[in-house]
Amino acid sequence: MSSQEMFSARVLSLYPSMFPGPLNYSLAGRALKDKRWDLSVLNIREFASDPHKTVDGRPFGGGPGMVLRADVLDRALSAIIPKEQQNEPVIVLSPRGNPLDQKRVNELALGAGLTLICGRFEGIDHRIIDAYGAEEISLGDFVLSGGEIAAIALLDAVVRLLPNVIGAAESLTNESFTDNLLEYPQFTRPQIWDGYTVPNILLSGDHAGIASWRQNESEQLTRERRPDLWARHNRELTSARVKK
């Protein structure tokens, strides 16, 4: 996306007043005010067709709970996605989806926008996912009561990567998940706090030494805490070397 275009986020929810919520603060909030991105939120219930404003039904085949209806969601999606933006990703927040990671966040931030469907109850009628070629994305292996918090987390992660949202571009290149590594430990003033000191190398002014210390710390932390990420780091490093 060029720095001139505005990234547009569209959200369908039964609780539209939960937005922008935390997205109104700090980086995302400033970027929203500066029109670096734009947020439209529609209440799914407005697209119910009966006087009782019914948005859900019992699951076919039986079982507990209720499921958000395909016909209602379809009307809401048709209303929120402008014709020229129909090729942008439609994402259903769901514990069954692919876990969100920084790689997918980067890809989404390079696009021009996206549509998010926040489920409630037992989730949404699967036919919507097929009909819209929607992608299911999960925030992690736990069950939330609705998709709104997951949608806010996803948008926060995407918006901070949009052009000119974070001041120092360098803070993006060093952070966790760059090169599949976790970030090294950080320290600031005071130099001695409650008897705790900071690693001497960070006070040395030796830039190469500091970079090497940070790289080692990142590698060690990743190896200890996230063997899955460490394996991916090594795999990608090997394949990059083979390509050279």
Nearest in space to 96 (alpha carbons), one of 133, 57, 144, 59? 144
* Cβ distance to ligand SAM smaller for residue 123 or 214: 123
95 binds ligand SAM (CB under 6 A): yes
CA angle 85, 86, 92 (to 5 degrees): 105
Q: Which stretch of DSSP H or E encloses residue 143?
A: none
Find out whether 123 and 67 touch, Cβ atoms under 8 Å.
Answer: yes
Nearest CA to 19 among 51, 43, 47? 43
User: Judged by CB under 6 A, does residue 13 bind ligand SAM?
Assistant: no
Among 41, 81, 144, 182, binds ligand SAM (CB under 6 A): 144
Contact 154, 93 (CB under 8 A): yes
209 binds ligand SAM (CB under 6 A): no
Among 15-23, 56-64, 143-151, 172-180, the segment contacting ligand SAM (CB under 6 A)? 143-151
Residue from 9, 21, 37, 177 nearest 93 by CA = 9
* Residue whose entry in the numeric block shows the structure tokens 């009782």: 52
User: Which of 80, 93, 155, 182 contacts ligand SAM by CB under 6 A?
Assistant: 93
Report yes or no: 159 and 7 within 8 Å, Cβ to Cβ.
Answer: yes
CB of 10 to ligand SAM, least distance (A): 16
Judged by CB under 6 A, how many residues of this single chain contact ligand SAM? 19
Query: Rounded to the nearest whole angstrom, what is the least distance from the CB of residue 91 to ligand SAM in the complex?
Result: 10
Tell me: does residue 104 bind ligand SAM (CB under 6 A): no
Name residues contacting ligand SAM, limited to 149-178 (CB under 6 A).
Answer: 150
Minimum CB–partner distance for residue 137 and ligand SAM (Å):
7
Q: Determine, following the binding rule CB under 6 A, whether residue 119 of this chain makes contact with ligand SAM.
A: yes
Token pair belonging to 119: 């489920």
We find the least distance from the C-beta atom of residue 87 to ligand SAM, in angstroms, to be 23
The DSSP letter of residue 205 is -
Name the residues that contact ligand SAM, by CB under 6 A: 93-96, 118-120, 122-123, 138-140, 142-147, 150
